[in-house]
Amino acid sequence: MGEFVRLEVEAGVGTIRLDRPPVNALNNQVQRELAEAAKEAGERDDVRAVILYGGEKTFAGGADIKEMAAKSYVEINTFGAELQASLASIAELPKPTVAAVTGYALGGGLELAMTADRRVVGDNVKVGQPEIQLGIIPGAGGTQRLTRLVGPSKAKDIVYTGRFVKADEALAIGLVDEVVAPDEVYAAAHKWAAQFANGPAVALKAAKAAIDGGQDLDLRNALKLETQLFTALWATEDQAAGMQSFIENGPGKAEFKGK
C-alpha cells in the first residue's frame, strides 16, 4: 500500500483509491504507486474487476504543475515516459475496469479516467484537457485515447481550447458512459464491476485483449487475433463448464472458477 494510492479488495472487486489531497495531483510518487497498485490488481486472483476512484470530492485535478515546471528538458523526457508507462499499466489491466469520477477529471486526471474500460461520473462533473493553457499538449494519452473515444474533430476542439466539458456533453459525445447523482458515483461503478466478480475471468481477459488489440490492427489481422483468442478458450475449465451448463440448464446459469 502506497502513501497516496492503495488497493482495497472486497468480494472480487478491487478499488484503486487515489488519496493525495486536495485534488489528487499526479506527481512522480503517485504515478509510481498507481503502477504498483495496477500490478498487484492484475496479479491477484481474488480481484476480478477494478474501480479507479479519487474519493467523494474529486477524481484527479491533473499533474503536479509545480513539479513539472521545475524539470529540465532532459528530466521531462524521463518524466513523460514514466507517466505514459504508469497510465498504460492501468489501461493494460487484463480485467474489466471502471473509473468512478467525482468533481473534476482534468489533464492527467482525465487521461487516467480514459484508461478505464468505462467511466461513471457525477452530474456535476467537469472534465477536460486544459494543457494548452500552459503552452503544452496532453502527454499521457490525451491526444490519443480521447481521439479514439470521441473522434478527431471533437478531440481537437477539446484539446485546442482547453475548455471544461460538463457531464451532459461528455455523455453525448461518448467520453463518459453513465451519469448519476454525485453521491451515487461509486455505488454505480461498483454495481457495474461487481457483475464480473464470479465471471469467466479468462474469457473476459480475452475479450479485452481482442477489443483493445484489434484497434491497432487492420481488420484482416484483427480478425486473426480474435480467432486466436477465441479458440484458446477451449483450454479453459470455464469454457467446458459454461457450455455444459447451457446444454443442461439454459443460458446464464453457469458457475465459473476463472480457470
Cβ atoms within 10 A of the Cβ of 36, count? 17
| Residue 257 to residue 17: CA distance in whole angstroms | 27
Alpha-carbon distances of 25 from 21, 54, 66, 88, 113, rounded to whole Å? 8, 10, 10, 18, 13
Element (H, E) at 9: strand 5-10
Q: Provide the 8-state DSSP code for 94.
A: S
Q: With 0-12 CB in 10 A as exposed, 13-18 as middle and 19+ as buried, what is 250?
A: exposed
Q: What's the angle, vertex CA 199, arms to CA 195 and CA 201, rounded to 5? A: 125
The helix/strand/coil state of 22 is: coil
As annotated, the active-site residues are: 111, 131
The answer to whether the beta carbons of residues 64 and 107 sit under 8 Å apart is: no
The helix/strand/coil state of 36 is: helix
Cell numbers linked to 52: 479507479
Cell numbers linked to 64: 503536479
Alpha carbon 223 to its chain's center: 24
